[in-house]
Structure 1
């Protein structure tokens, strides 16, 4: 059962929008290697604002993701890609529908 998640907001530096988009697209491969991260979305919220939403079965899995390769890769490129540090918001999952069409 999916119980908790993260919403991460990323604001690209001027001129780095394509690089942030490419980083997030490549992040799918890193996140696919995390068995405790069953749900992961990379989002484009506006031309300069991006986001990541992911969800987990437990707080332990959420913490494992925060200590994982995707988080490390992002934090290693914050100064290069982002106008400010990422906003990382833990969220509780109240309901979920996951039914591909």
Structure 2
């Protein structure tokens, strides 16, 4: 399988909501596991308020299915309560993978 596509989402928690955002992201793992086309899915913490998600895909169809799936829908639903601003979500093309 050749993994060439990804999504990078950077998230900024509202003041005092970092732990809640972290818990939300940890719970998102179960949704990612259920997605056949998602090759890898990482949720990470940069600081007490900065978090992110990085996931990879082998096909454009798999990435599109993810974008239209449960994780982005859950994030949209929770964003008003947890996020200081709209997520910065960028599709990426992977140049090298090990």
Give the TM-score category using the shorter length. over 0.9
SS of the residue corresponding to residue 8 of structure 2 reads: strand
Partner SS for 1:88: strand
Distance 2:88 2:61 in 1: 20
The match for 2:23 is 22
- Structure 1 residue 38, shift from structure 2 partner: 1.2
Unaligned runs of 5+ in 2: none
Normalised by the length of structure 1, the TM-score is 0.94
Trace 1:25-64 onto structure 2 (pairs within 5 A).
25-64=26-65
Q: Does 1:90 align with 2:64?
A: no
Alpha-carbon distance in structure 2 between the residues aligned to 1:9 and 1:22: 16
Q: Could you say which residue in structure 2 is the equivalent of 1:10?
A: 11
1:60 CA drift (Å): 1.2
Point out where structure 1 has 5 or more consecutive residues left out of the alignment: none
How big is the shift at 1:47?
1.2
